[in-house]
Amino acid sequence: MARVDYSERIPNNVSLAENRRLLRALEEWQPRYLDWWNQMGPEGFQARDVYLRTAISVDPQGWAHFDWVKMPEYRWGIFLAEPEPGRTIAFGEHKGTPAWQDVPGEYRGTLRRLIVTQGDTEPASVEQQRHLGRTCPSLYDLRNIFQVNVEEGRHLWAMVYLLHAHFGRDGREEAEALLQRRSGDSDKPRILGAFNERTPDWLSFFMFCFFTDRDGKYQLASLAESGFDPLSRTCRFMLTEEAHHMFVGEAGIGRIVQKTVELMREHRTDDDVRRHGGIDLPTMQRYLNFHCSVSLDLFGSEISTNAANFYTAGLKGRFEETKKADDHLLREATYPVTRPEGDTIKLVEEPALTALNERLRDDYVADCQRGVDRWNAIIRKHGIDFELRLPHRGFHRAIGNCAELRVSPDGRVVSEAEWDARKHEWLPTPGDQAYVASLMTPVVEPGKFAGWIAPPARGINGQPVEFEYVKLSARAGEEGRRG
């Protein structure tokens, strides 16, 4: 079993000590990463002790260790899943040949771009969430957001390791650039659209974890199929960590739904939840529409020669590629893809190779639907006649076939006039945002929760819900220096 070496400045299971050059390069990057973390990481809590899990091995059973940690002292490191002896490439034109341990020269630029795009999302999400600690609904939630943040930081390390270890000077330059771009900055934005949106409140945060982190799951799962073995092994371990982030999202929204329907029952009201301090279901639906649509964009265009090339080259596979029983070449196969025709959106058969983004989006949508079904079960259980729905995949898109169109959540192509008249029904309004913002007052007493969210069913790592997950009693003055 691969235990992680914690005696090193950079914990790792890749024998970093044996590669002095690489070690030195990463040790030079480390203080710049910490500068970035201190500047752009969670605001106001850097000197606090947080009950965090740290990876101590890559064994799926018992890989994590929980302890009190100040975030800047978190042991970010490099952890690759165990190698699979004799692993071969499962798809594309190199199918059946041994997985690559080094970057093939002809794919260097493409692979670097994929790794940089993946890497860029990780610090971006930390930047997007940096103010949220100040308005946490509970210590339990505060700890969870910090867990997500430090692990996104670790995922940046995961990609930076690949860049440093396998891409020479270009890789080192890209690793620097990952610390230079900033979410939402018009001069140096993050690469993908959703990572430049604001995450101003906790409803947005939970939606982000549910929808956008789930894109992460599907992209990482596709990269875990890569013929470039170090990328595959890196992504396989990242997926283990990612599961908690999606749990935070699904459970967070589930707890808000729970509280809302309890308030509706208690006060015998269907449409006046706001008066009782809850988040009404139509507002939740509008937030859901927004976060789902920007996350659907993250899969790229329905028809993509990039995606076809990634696949044929053996760089990025399908979700669960090795479990599929076809030729893994897709030269003849077709796949149904959405395409607008007049004022409707149809399904048309397209070559499966160029339709790979849409196929991954289908896997993703099915997974999202399972979570939405669980939220609806909570609503139904309280006898309330309301159903949360995923918007049509053409709704509010900025990438792909529907980017130039106005599409309603139920999938009609609508006129600009209808869009303008009804968009307040479909997307969060300034009024919704102001109302949600008005609820964001911090609750930091152990075991207490804000009035718009139900407590979780259980605590973290077997601890009680009322456990002091973040110790807010730092020495006076310390926060001012480091926060």
Q: Closest approach of Cβ 185 to ligand BYC, in Å?
A: 15
Q: How far is the CB of 214 from ligand BYC (least distance, A)?
A: 8
- First and final CA of the chain: distance in angstroms? 38
Q: Which is nearer to ligand BYC, 216 or 456 (CB)?
A: 216
Q: Is 483 in the site for ligand BYC (CB under 6 A)?
A: no
Phi, psi dihedrals of residue 2, rounded to the nearest 5°:
-85, 95
Give the one residue of 4, 80, 114, 284 binding ligand BYC; rule: CB under 6 A: 114
Whether 405 and 340 have beta carbons less than 8 Å apart is answered as yes
Q: What is the C-alpha separation between 290 and 409, in angstroms, rounded?
A: 10
From the CB of 334, what's the least distance to ligand BYC, in Å? 18
CB atoms closer than 10 angstroms to residue 381: 10
Both tokens of 199, joined, read 């995450």
For position 338 contacting ligand BYC by CB under 6 A, the verdict is no
- Spell out, one character per residue from 437 to 456, where the chain touches ligand BYC: x when CB under 6 A holds, - when not: --------------------
> Could you tell me the smallest distance in angstroms from the CB atom of residue 263 to ligand BYC?
30
> Measured from the CB of residue 191, what is the shortest distance to ligand BYC in angstroms?
6
Phi/psi of residue 3, nearest 5 degrees: -80, 155
Name residues whose C-beta falls within 8 Å of residue 196's C-beta, 6 or more positions apart in sequence: 124, 183, 184, 189, 190
Element at 161 (helix H, strand E): helix 139-166
Within 3-42, which residues bind ligand BYC (CB under 6 A)? none
Q: How far is the CB of 103 from ligand BYC (least distance, A)?
A: 16
Q: Which of 306, 312, 376, 429 binds ligand BYC (CB under 6 A)?
A: 306
Stretch that binds ligand BYC, among 46-54, 131-139, 229-237, 301-309 (CB under 6 A): 301-309
Using alpha carbons only, how large is the chain's radius of gyration in Å? 23
Identity of the residue, 365 or 465, whose beta carbon is nearer to ligand BYC in the bound complex: 365
Contact flag: residue 351 with ligand BYC (CB under 6 A):
no
Minimum distance between the CB of residue 123 and ligand BYC, rounded to whole angstroms? 9
Cβ(352)–Cβ(336) below 8 Å: no
Enter the tokens of residue 440: 């964001």
Whichever of 258 and 289 has its CB closer to ligand BYC, that residue is: 289
Q: Distances in Å between the alpha carbon of 82 and those of 43, 59, 154, 168, 241?
A: 35, 8, 18, 24, 15
Q: How far is CA 51 from the centre of its chain?
A: 21
The label of the residue with tokens 């103010």 reads 131
| 360 neighbors 318 (Cβ within 8 angstroms) | yes
Distance CA(260)–CA(455), nearest Å, equals 12
Q: Which stretch binds ligand BYC (CB under 6 A): 26-34, 298-306, 405-413, 429-437?
A: 298-306
Our finding on whether 138 is near ligand BYC (CB under 6 A) is no
Q: What is the 3-state secondary structure (H, E, C) of 204-241?
A: HHHHHHHHHHHHHHHHHHHHCCCCEHHHHHHHHHHHHH
Residues in contact with 385: Cβ distance below 8 Å, sequence separation at least 6, in sequence order:
none
Nearest residue relative to ligand BYC (C-beta) = 300
- The residue range among 162-170, 263-271, 295-303, 447-455 that interacts with ligand BYC, by the rule CB under 6 A, is 295-303
Query: What single DSSP character describes residue 39?
Result: H
- Indicate the residue type of 352: A
One residue of 141, 280, 297, 321 binding ligand BYC per CB under 6 A: 297
Rule CB under 6 A: is residue 184 a binding residue for ligand BYC?
no
Q: Write out the two tokens for 9.
A: 């400045």
Q: Which of 127, 197, 215, 362 binds ligand BYC (CB under 6 A)?
A: 215
How big is the site for ligand BYC, counted in residues (CB under 6 A)? 25
Point out which span in 94-102, 228-236, 304-312, 424-432 binds ligand BYC (CB under 6 A).
304-312
* Cβ 305 to ligand BYC shortest distance, Å: 7
Give the residue, chosen from 23, 142, 298, 450, that forms a contact with ligand BYC under the rule CB under 6 A: 298
Question: 217 to 236, contacts with ligand BYC by CB under 6 A?
Answer: 219
| Nearest by Cα to 250 from 194, 285, 204, 211 | 211
Interface region with ligand BYC, contact rule CB under 6 A, candidates 84-92, 212-220, 326-334, 407-415: 212-220
| Alpha helices, H only, 267-355 | 281-297, 305-312
Distance of closest approach, residue 156 Cβ to ligand BYC, in angstroms: 9
Compute CA 336 distance to the chain's CA centroid, rounded to the nearest angstrom: 27
- Decide: 43 and 181 in contact? Cβ < 8 Å: no
Shortest Å, Cβ 308 to ligand BYC: 8
Instruction: Give contact residues for ligand BYC (rule: CB under 6 A).
Output: 114, 117-118, 121-122, 125, 152, 192-193, 212-213, 215-216, 219, 297-301, 304, 306-307, 316, 357, 399
